[in-house]
Structure 1
Amino acid sequence: MQTYDLFAPTTDAERHALYARMRAEPGLCRIEPFGAYAAARYEDVRTLYKDAQRFSSEALAVTAEPPWLGPNPIAQSLVTKDPPRHTPLRALLSRAFGASGMARLEAQVRQEAETLAEAAVRRREVDFVDALSFALPRNIIGRMLGLEPSTFTEFKRWSVNMGLLSSAVPAQYEGVRATVREMEAYLGDVIAARRRAPGDDMVSDLLRAEVEGRQLTDEEVLSFLFLLLPAGMETTAQLIGHAAILLARHPEHLEHARADKTHIPRFLEEVLRYEPPTQFAFRIALSDVELSGTTVPAGSLVMGLVASANRDESVFEQPERFLPGRDKGTQHLTFGHGIHFCLGAQLARMEARLALEALIPRIRALRLRSPDIQWLPGLTIRGPQSLPVDLVPA
C-alpha cells in the first residue's frame, strides 16, 4: 500500500496531481503526517460519510484533542456524535438552520451584503477577505449568537487557529492553546449572561431548549458554540473568497452573472466542487472493515479526501475544468453526505449568493493585485488568508 505525504505539494497543480495518483491506486492509501488510511475516490468518501454503522464520527474528538492541546470543547460537539446521541441534538440545531429560519434571516444578510459591497467598491483597492468574504459571515453569525460587535475583530484569529487543529506544527501550538482558552472564557461569559438575562438570539434559544426532556448543560451549549462560531464563518468565507479568485480568473462568468443573476447559484455550486473549503474529514473504523478491497483494522483513522472526490473522473466529466452548470454539478461532497450533512449549508449558499448579487452589479471587473495568493495555514481549511483585489466600478 502506497503512503503519501499531504504536506509535499507546494502548488495547486501538485496537490491535484497527488490526489489523481491516489485515486488511481487499487485500494485505499496511507497518509502522512496523520498515519491514517485515506479514501480518495468519490464512492469511498461517500461511504465514509453515510455508513455510521462502520465508520464513527467520533474521530473528530480524537483529532480535536491532540496530546499537545488537551481538553477542547469542540470534541464534545454535534459532529463528534453518532446515533442515537446525535439524533436529538441534530434535531434541536436544525430548527435554527431550517428553511423558515433562513427565510427570516435573508433580508438581514442581503442588507449586510449590500452595505459591505458598496463600501468595498467605493474603496476599489481592498483586501477582499477583510472587506467582504470574511466580514459578511462573521457579522451574521455574530448577530445570530447575539455577540458584542466590538469583539468581532478577534473572530478571524480564533477561526484560523481552530482550523489548525489537525495539522498544526509545534510553532503553532501555543497560538491554538491560547485560542481555546480565550474562546472558553469569552463564550462561558456569554452563556452566563444569557442564563441571567435571556435574549432573542441563538444562545438564549439553546439554553431554553430541551433534548429528550432535559435542558442542555452549559458544557453542551459551550461545545455547540465552539463548533458554530468558526464553522459559521469559515465555510462561507472560503466559498466567497474562492468565488472572487475564480471570477478574476474566468471573467466571462462575471459577465454572465451581470447579464443574468440566475447564473450565480450555478457558478457557486461549481466553486464548491472545484475548491471545497474543507479538504477532508476523519472517521474511525468501528470494527475490521473492508473498503475498496483494503482491510482497515478496528480503531483506525480513515480520512475522506473531499477535494479529491470532487474531481473523481468516474463521476465528473472533465473534472479539472471549471464549468458552472455542469452535469452532476450539485453532487459534490463539499457539505458532506448522510446524517452529518452540514447544518449550515443553506446559510452558506445564501450568504455567498447574496454577497455576489450585491457585488457583481457594482463592478465591471475584479482583478487580483498579485498572482501569488496567501493561503490559510494548515491542511484542513483551504482558502485565501488575504486577497488584495482591484474592484473596477461599473
Structure 2
Amino acid sequence: MTDAAELDLPFFDYSAPDLTGEVYHRRLAETARHGWLAQAPLSYVVLDRESAEFFLRSRATAFPGPQIADLFGVTGGRLREQIDANIVNQTGERHRRLRSLVGPAFAPRAAGRWRPVMRGFLDGLWDPARTSCDAVEAFARPYPALTIAAVFGAPAADAPRLQAWSAWVQRQFDIRALAADLPAIERATAEVYAYVEDLLAARRDAPGDDLLSTLLAAEDEGDRLSRAECVNLVLNVMAGGIDTMQAQLAHALRLFAEHPDQWALLAAEPGRAARAVDEVLRFEPITPFTARVCLEPVEFRGVAFPAGAIVAVCAERANRDEGEEFDITAVREHRPLTFGAGAHYCLGANLARAELEEALAFLAPRMPGLALDGPPRLGGVEGIYGVESLPVRWRPPR
C-alpha cells in the first residue's frame, strides 16, 4: 500500500483561467493518459469510471462543504447555516430521513406530471417570428426558473429573482467565486432565506398541490421535519434546480448546434429526446468535478488516502470512458455520473430529465438548421460549468 502523498502524480489545475471549452476536455484527456489519479491545487482528482463510482458510493467519504467553507473563512451567517444544513452535506440517518421526505415529490411519476406545465412555458417563450437569438437569454435562463416556481407554487413573476439567487447561491461550490465574490454570495443567501420563509408562510395559509405544501404537511407531523429543515430543503431545491438546469440546457443546444446531423435526426424524430438527454448528460456534464472528503483512511487500488484528504471525482472522464463522440443513437452501457451516484444521487434528477426532454422535443422541430451565430461564451469548470451566452440561428420551419 502506497500513501497518495508519496506518488509522483501528474498535476491538473482545475482553477486555471483558460480551462474551458475544448481546452478543458483536451487537458483532462492528456492528464488521464498518465493514469487514473492526479494531483490538483486542493485535492486529488480521480479520472476513470471505476474510481469515480468508488469515491461517490463509499460510506467513508462525504461532500466537504463545511471544510471548504472553513478554508475560505465562511464561519458564520446565513451562508454558513445553509452550507451546514444543505442535504448534500448530511450523512447517515438524518440524510436518509430528509431524502425520504422530499424524494417522493421528485419520483419519475411526480416529475412527469409537470410536463404539461413545462410545455406551456416553452410555448410562451417561443417566438415564431425569430430565426436567431441568444439561446441562454431566450430559453435556458427563464425556463428552469419558471418550472421551479411552478413546482413550489410561487408566482411566475418571481422566476427572474429565483434565477438570480440560484446563480449566486450555487457559487458556494465554486472555489474561484468563494475567493472573489463571497459578499455577494452571502447577500443572495440571506435574501433567498427571507423569500423562502415568506413563501412558506403564505403556503401554510393556502396549501396547494405543490412541493411546499408537501413539506409543510411533514413539518406539521412534529418529529419528522423541523421548521429549519423545511426552510433549508426548499432553499436547496430552489438553488440546485435552476442554475444547473440552465447550464445543462444551454450546453445541450450548443452541442446540437455543433452537430447538425444529430439535431436533424432529433427534429425528425422527437421521440428520441430521452436518449438525446442521456447523451448530453454524458458528453458535457455541468458538474465536471464533485468533491469528496475521506472521513477515515481509505484504500483503493493500492493507494492509501488519509482521513481528511479531498478527492475530486471527474464526471467528465468517467462519462467519456464510453466514447469521445457525441452520438444520440449510440447505446451506452452505463448511466452518466453527471447526477452523481450512491446515497447522494441528485434528488432532482427526474425533474431535470423531464425538463430537458420537453425542451429538446419542443425546440428541435421548430429550429431546423440550428447553428452557432457567433462564438459561445463559456464559464469556468470549477463549479457549475455554465454558458454565459449562446448566439444561434436557424431556418424558418416549414
TM-score after normalising by structure 1 = 0.89
Using a 3 Å threshold, how does the CA distance of structure 1 residues 190 and 65 change in structure 2: closer, same or farther?
farther
**2:390 paired with 1:384:** no
Which runs of structure 2 are paired with 1:310-349 in the superposition (5 Å)? 310-312=319-321, 316=322, 319-328=323-332, 330-349=334-353
Using a 3 Å threshold, how does the CA distance of structure 1 residues 65 and 359 change in structure 2: closer, same or farther?
farther
Measured against aligned partners, the alpha-carbon deviations of 1:255-294 in whole angstroms (never above 9, x if no partner) come to: 1112222332222211111100111111121211112332
Q: Could you say what secondary structure the match of 1:270 adopts? A: helix
**Counterparts of 1:65 and 1:370 in 2: how far apart (Å)?**
41
Measured against aligned partners, the alpha-carbon deviations of 1:161-186 in whole angstroms (never above 9, x if no partner) come to: 22322321543222212111211221
**What is the Cα deviation at residue 346 of structure 1?**
1.4
Q: Could you say what secondary structure the match of 1:389 adopts? A: strand
**2:60 paired with 1:60:** no
Which runs of structure 2 are paired with 1:168-247 in the superposition (5 Å)? 168=177, 170-209=179-218, 214-247=223-256
Work out which of the residue numbers 117, 123, 143 in structure 2 matches 1:114.
123
**What is the Cα deviation at residue 103 of structure 1?**
3.1
Work out which of the residue numbers 162, 168, 171 in structure 2 matches 1:164.
171
Which segment drifts farther, 148-157 or 239-248? Answer: 148-157
Q: Which amino acid aligns with 1:253?
A: Q
**What is the Cα deviation at residue 142 of structure 1?**
0.7
Which segment drifts farther, 208-217 or 145-154? Answer: 208-217
Work out which of the residue numbers 161, 167, 192 in structure 2 matches 1:154.
161
Q: Which amino acid aligns with 1:258?
A: A
Matched-pair contact (CA < 8 Å) for 2:288–2:381: no
**Counterparts of 2:335 and 2:365 in 1: how far apart (Å)?**
29
Using a 3 Å threshold, how does the CA distance of structure 1 residues 241 and 26 change in structure 2: closer, same or farther?
closer
Q: Which runs of 4 or more aligned residues in structure 1 lie more than 6 Å from their structure 2 counterparts after TM superposition?
A: none
Give the aligned partner of residue 104 of structure 1.
113
Name the % identity: 31
Matched-pair contact (CA < 8 Å) for 2:140–2:249: yes
**Counterparts of 2:26 and 2:87 in 1: how far apart (Å)?**
34
Using a 3 Å threshold, how does the CA distance of structure 1 residues 172 and 201 change in structure 2: closer, same or farther?
same
**Counterparts of 2:162 and 2:69 in 1: how far apart (Å)?**
19
Q: Could you say what secondary structure the match of 1:290 adopts? A: strand
* Count of residues in correspondence between the two structures: 382
Using a 3 Å threshold, how does the CA distance of structure 1 residues 66 and 123 change in structure 2: closer, same or farther?
farther
| More helix per residue | 2
Runs of at least 5 residues in structure 1 that lack an aligned partner in the other structure: none
CA RMSD of aligned residues (A): 2.3
Matched-pair contact (CA < 8 Å) for 1:164–1:378: no
**2:296 paired with 1:287:** yes
Matched-pair contact (CA < 8 Å) for 1:374–1:384: yes
Matched-pair contact (CA < 8 Å) for 2:282–2:319: yes
